[in-house]
Structure formats: C-alpha cells, structure tokens
Amino acid sequence: QSVLTQPLSASGTPGQRVTISCSGSTSNVGSNYVYWYQQFPGMAPKLLIYKNNQWPSGVPGRFSGSKSGTSASLAISGLRSEDEADYYCAAWDDNLQGPVFGGGTRLSVL
Amino acid sequence: QVQLVESGGGLVKPGGSLRVSCAASGFNFADYQMSWIRQAPGKGLEWVSKIDSTGSIIFQADSVKGRFSISRDNAKKSLHLQMSNLRVDDTAVYYCARDGSYNLWDLSDYWGQGTLVTVSS
C-alpha cells in the first residue's frame, strides 16, 4: 500500500490531454514539493517534473505539473505513442523522514 | 554528463549479506545528497535510504532499519549499501540516485540503471 495514491491506469488517444492524479496528506504533498517520474519497461525512472511544476532540461513542455493542498496532478497534452510508460509521483514525508512514492500509473495511448 | 553506475548485485540466500555500490561521475559528488531506491519485480518504487553530502546525516526506511547501512566515499565518488539479514522480500532492482545539493527534502534528479538483488534459497 503506497503512501501516495495514484490511479492504476490512464489512457488517451494521440493528441489528447491526459491527467494523472496524486493524493497525499499534510505531511507529504501538503507541505513539500511533488516530483514526477517517467519509467519505461526495463529502464530506470527519469525525472519529469520537480518542485511541483518545474521542468528539467530536455523535458518537453507537453508535460506539466500542478499542486493544490494535498493533491497534485501531472498533465500530458498532445499525447504521443511514445508517452506510453509508468508515471510515479513522490514527495518528502515529514513524519516518515524520507521520500514516499505513489504506486504508479500505467499510461496507455490507444 | 551525470552518470551513476551500480554494481554488486546478485543471488544471495535468505539471511545472507551483500554490498552494492554506485560509481558517480560527471558532477561534483561531494556536493550532493544521495539515495538508494528499490523496485521489486513488477512493483512500484520504494525509497530505501538517504545520506547527506558529508555522510553525517542518514535516513532509512523502517523496512530496512537495523539491516541495511548506507555509506559514501567522497574521495572515490562512490556510494554503498551494505545489506545484511536479507529477506526474500528484499528482492528488487536497487537504484542509486542523486538528490539535491541544498535541502534534505529535495528528491532525486538522476538515477542509475540499477542492479538486481535476488534473495532466494
């Protein structure tokens, strides 16, 4: 059981906009930055969004992050087939004194 | 460019010990906090342990407290995870990851490719 809650799956068609939610609590999402990672099968996770809504260099602007209270969201616009991957949210947890992750959302591009 | 290369994974029996390592390059290793994060087969990500830039502050997940120990050698730009009293549910790919350089609550920005640890009799 993951500390942060994400939907198991999400899907969309090419060109659509898809959002993935991440729900936490006051000790993690509510009081610390949220990070988003993208992971392809057999590969290491890659940072997609940091500090709620910042892009690392090389990440396209089609990916965007937002946070409100104890929930966060990752939005992917102009969906492409190469966006099919697992997406994880994460945040530092003040009570556990370490990062906590969501269970991951598998995105399918139909 | 930032590179993190893990090594030392393998097959170990329950109750056994193993040390995995991470060689860092492409950045000033001594400036950054580092973490180990694992992923069991077909499962999600689980943070294991974090160490600050000097090695004086360490955080560990409850699931590994008393069994795993994180350490670093800034002169050799290396990170280590000593694992003992291993259990079947420690089976996972272990990733080395670079964290922030300022705040302890900054999470990982670069990850290695991982090393597989299999605990089985």
Query: Does A89 contact B at CB distance below 8 Å?
Result: no
pLDDT-derived band at A48 (thresholds 50, 70, 90) equals very high
* Disruptive mutation site among B105, B110, B116 for chain A (greatest number of A CBs within 10 Å): B105
Query: Does B27 contact A at CB distance below 8 Å?
Result: no
pLDDT digits (tens, 9 = 90+) for A32-41: 999 999 999 9
Q: Is the pLDDT of residue B102 over 90?
A: no
pLDDT reported for residue B104: 85
Selecting from A32, A33, A88 the residue whose C-beta is nearest the C-beta of B45 gives A88
Q: How open is the CA angle B27-B24-B52, to the nearest 5 degrees?
A: 80
Q: Do A2 and B44 touch (CB under 8 A)?
A: yes
Share of chain B above pLDDT 90, in %: 95
Among B41, B90, B32, B88, which residue's Cα sits nearest to residue B61? B90
Confirm if A90 and A101 have CB atoms less than 8 A apart. Answer: yes
A residues 1-30 lying closer than 8 A (beta carbon) to B: 2
- Strand bridging mode B115-119 / B10-12: parallel
pLDDT digits (tens, 9 = 90+) for A50-66: 999 999 999 999 999 99
Residue B54's contacts (CB-CB under 8 Å, 6 or more residues apart) are B74
Separation CA B9–CA B118 (nearest Å): 8
